Amino acid sequence: DSGVTQTPKHLITATGQRVTLRCSPRSGDLSVYWYQQSLDQGLQFLIQYYNGEERAKGNILERFSAQQFPDLHSELNLSSLELGDSALYFCASSVDNPSGNTIYFGEGSWLTVV
């Protein structure tokens, strides 16, 4: 158990809909990362938050957004969903930024868009 909790574990929704994925980081971790894992694209970094502030952006679509709340949990919002958004979405957390810090992953949220 990594200590990173993600909900829901599985989600099936229709095209055009909007979903919210939730992540609770490990106790004490200030950084939260979101990754998308699909068969054809591998593991893609989406976005990072640090102590409530957006720190870095990766390959995140404009239809997607995220935020980190004062209690450090984070939500990833996916809207106007398309079939190609079907993937496994991971949240990860770490204590802070400095190189050498390990990031710990949750078990992921499986999103299926039909």
Partner 1 sequence: GNSVTQMEGPVTLSEEAFLTINCTYTATGYPSLFWYVQYPGEGLQLLLKATKADDKGSNKGFEATYRKETTSFHLEKGSVQVSDSAVYFCALVASGGSYIPTFGRGTSLIVHP
Residues that bind partner 1 (CB under 8 A): 2, 4, 33, 42-43, 45, 48, 55-56, 58, 90, 92, 97-108
Toward partner 1, which CB reaches closer, 19 or 35?
Answer: 35
Buried b (16+ CB within 10 A) or exposed e, 51-62: eeeeeeeeebee
Q: Are 81 and 39 in contact (CB under 8 A)?
A: no
Q: Which is nearer to partner 1, 48 or 81 (CB)?
A: 48
Nearer to partner 1, 33 or 64 (CB): 33
Residue 109 CB, nearest distance to partner 1 (Å)?
Answer: 10
Half-sphere exposure of 46 (CA within 13 A, CB side): 26
Closest contact distance (angstroms) between CB of 37 and partner 1 is 9
CB nearer to partner 1: pick between 64 and 104: 104
Instruction: Report, in Å, the least distance between residue 80 CB and partner 1.
Output: 26
How do strand 104-105 and strand 74-78 relate by DSSP bridges? unpaired
- Nearest of 102, 99, 34 to residue 68 by alpha carbon: 34
Least distance from C-beta 89 to partner 1, angstroms? Answer: 11
